[in-house]
Amino acid sequence: GAGVSQTPSNKVTEKGKYVELRCDPISGHTALYWYRQSLGQGPEFLIYFQGTGAADDSGLPNDRFFAVRPEGSVSTLKIQRTERGDSAVYLCASSLTPRLAGNEQFFGPGTRLTVL
């Protein structure tokens, strides 16, 4: 079966531009997560969806960041007015419903975002 996929794999943009990053979770996984990883750091939590709703968005750094999952499957992370400090690898993960199964999250390969 297919794992978590993310597109694009690389994105280069200019400061101030808007970007969208896409995540396709594993089929049947109701939970979806976004993390970002900066050089030399571990992944840092951004947002967690259970179904279509954001159950926890406490990790979004500011209101330039927004994520949606309108049909409970594919998710899009949107960043407005990008800044150089937004440059990182953005990781998406999915899992089965945490309360019904283990808590293992399965990660995609990430999107490397570079803001010039």
Residue 37, helix vs strand vs coil = strand
C-alpha dist (Å) from residue 42 to 9, 32, 37, 58, 88: 19, 18, 6, 17, 11
81: left (phi over 0), alpha (psi -120 to 50) or beta: left
The one segment of 14-22, 55-63, 64-72, 73-81 that binds another protein by CB under 8 A: 55-63
Phi and psi, residue 85, nearest 5°: -70, -10
Give the whole-angstrom CA distance, residue 14 versus residue 8: 16
Site for another protein contains 27 (CB under 8 A):
no
Q: Which is nearer to another protein, 29 or 79 (CB)?
A: 29
Q: Which is nearer to another protein, 80 or 102 (CB)?
A: 102
Q: Of 11, 19, 36, 48, which one interacts with another protein (CB under 8 A)? A: 48
Give the whole-angstrom CA distance, residue 75 versus residue 41: 24
Q: Of 14, 17, 55, 80, which one interacts with another protein (CB under 8 A)? A: 55
Binding mask 80-109 for another protein (x = CB under 8 A): -----------x-x-x--xx--xxxxxxxx
Residues that bind another protein (CB under 8 A): 4, 31, 33, 35, 40-45, 48, 55-56, 58-59, 91, 93, 95, 98-99, 102-110
